[in-house]
Amino acid sequence: MITRRNFTAGAATLLAAGHISTRARAATVSWDMSTVWPDGNFHTQNAFAFAEEVKKQSGGTVSITVKAGGQLGFKGPEHLRAVRDGLVPLADVLNIQQVGDEPFMGVESIPFLCGSVDELKVLHKYVRPEYEKIAARNNQKILYIVPWPTQYLHLKAKVADVEGLKNIKIRVPDKNAVEMLNAIGMAAVMIPWGETIPALASGAVAGVSTSSVSGVDGKFWEFLKYVYPTNHVWSSQMLTVNLDSWKALSGDQQKLVADVAAKMEPGFWANSLKADVDSLNRLKEGGMEVVPVSQAMMTDIRAKTAPQLDAFLKRVPAADKPVKAYLAEMKRG
């Protein structure tokens, strides 16, 4: 016989079970992550590894699906805004492509500011806090940052000096690179990665300023013949998460995801160095020739682009203190 007391107790049990079920459902999160890079790119491979480790460590309560190759329809320069506005919970953001919204993000593309990954690590010690502030005011949080390898000029033409670069139409990823390569006489055109291969195929450009990794992604040997190791600028990918999505996680989940990111980031940097070596070899296997840049040519390039440091600091006052602190540590202040 169902008594009022039994009914009340049963209802309470069902209600409690419903609350437990609701909490369990709320604790399970599925996020899409947008990246423009293809599956084989080391940044995308890093993202796959990160997603797998987060899923493993969280027991499947935080699931990240990497959408590579621009599957979600966002171009690289749109990623900061896409995460900010909650159009996608996670994205692999290329810092230098966000300078239209956040000029400070172009700091790594000051010509010859860093000469090696070790120097870049020192620079990040000073600029990463600023990157974190930028992310926060754009409604997102940085989970990890990983640099691209050293930069090259990939060209159709074989040149021996700066004069030989004059008027060559070259694709660049950001405004600072436009200014830099225009300063040495080239005709720089800012083109997102997704439009770079069509530009090469149509002859709209006769060169690309990018890493050897992107050269492999784009099978540059089908369009270009020569690779010049100029190491002129740097850039980094930032995996960011929308703050509203982040706050939907429990405190334990947030700590877990942040800890996984911090633990894996150094290995991702090492992957960048390896990717550069492997990719340069692949470009050579494809038929491209690595052309050593003479000391005279490098001296000329550096001289013509040197004014860009002061120009950047004047245009972006927030960069003055961290960049000068970095230069002082490098004994170049």
pLDDT digits (tens, 9 = 90+) for 52-91: 999 999 999 999 999 999 999 999 999 999 999 999 999 9
Cβ atoms of residues 175 and 109 within 8 Å: no
The pLDDT, as a whole number, for residue 150 is: 86
How far is CA 237 from each of CA 92, 131, 144, 189, 269, rounded to the nearest angstrom? 6, 12, 8, 21, 11
State how far the Cα of 54 lies from the Cα of 258, in Å rounded to an integer: 9
The pLDDT, as a whole number, for residue 3 is: 46
Span 126-144, average pLDDT: 98
Cβ atoms of residues 235 and 173 within 8 Å: yes
Span 246-268, average pLDDT: 97
The pLDDT, as a whole number, for residue 24 is: 40
Best CA proximity match to 171, nearest among 202, 199, 148:
199
Could you report the per-residue pLDDT of 186-244, keeping only the tens digit for each? 999 999 998 999 999 999 999 999 999 999 999 999 999 999 999 999 999 999 999 99
Residue 333 pLDDT greater than 90, yes or no: no
Q: Quote the pTM value.
A: 0.86
Could you report the per-residue pLDDT of 161-196, keeping only the tens digit for each? 999 999 999 999 888 899 999 999 999 999 999 899
Span 232-261, average pLDDT: 97
The whole-angstrom distance between residue 3's C-alpha and the CA centroid of its chain comes to 65
The pLDDT, as a whole number, for residue 8 is: 41
Instruction: Determine what percent of the chain falls in helix, strand and coil, rounding each to the nearest 5.
Output: 55, 15, 30
Span 248-265, average pLDDT: 98
Taking CA 328 as the corner, what is the angle to CA 326 and CA 333, rounded to the nearest 5 degrees? 110
Could you report the per-residue pLDDT of 282-291, keeping only the tens digit for each? 999 999 999 9
- The two beta strands, 289-290 and 226-228, are parallel
Q: Which token pair is 32?
A: 């899409």
How far is CA 112 from each of CA 66, 159, 197, 232, rounded to the nearest angstrom? 33, 21, 27, 5
State how far the Cα of 6 lies from the Cα of 303, in Å rounded to an integer: 87
Best CA proximity match to 103, nearest among 173, 176, 36:
176
The pLDDT, as a whole number, for residue 9 is: 43
Give the whole-number percent of the chain exceeding pLDDT 90: 89
Q: Which token pair is 232?
A: 């002129």
Give the whole-number percent of the chain exceeding pLDDT 70: 92
Q: Which token pair is 276?
A: 């550069």
- The two beta strands, 151-155 and 226-228, are antiparallel
State how far the Cα of 288 lies from the Cα of 282, in Å rounded to an integer: 9
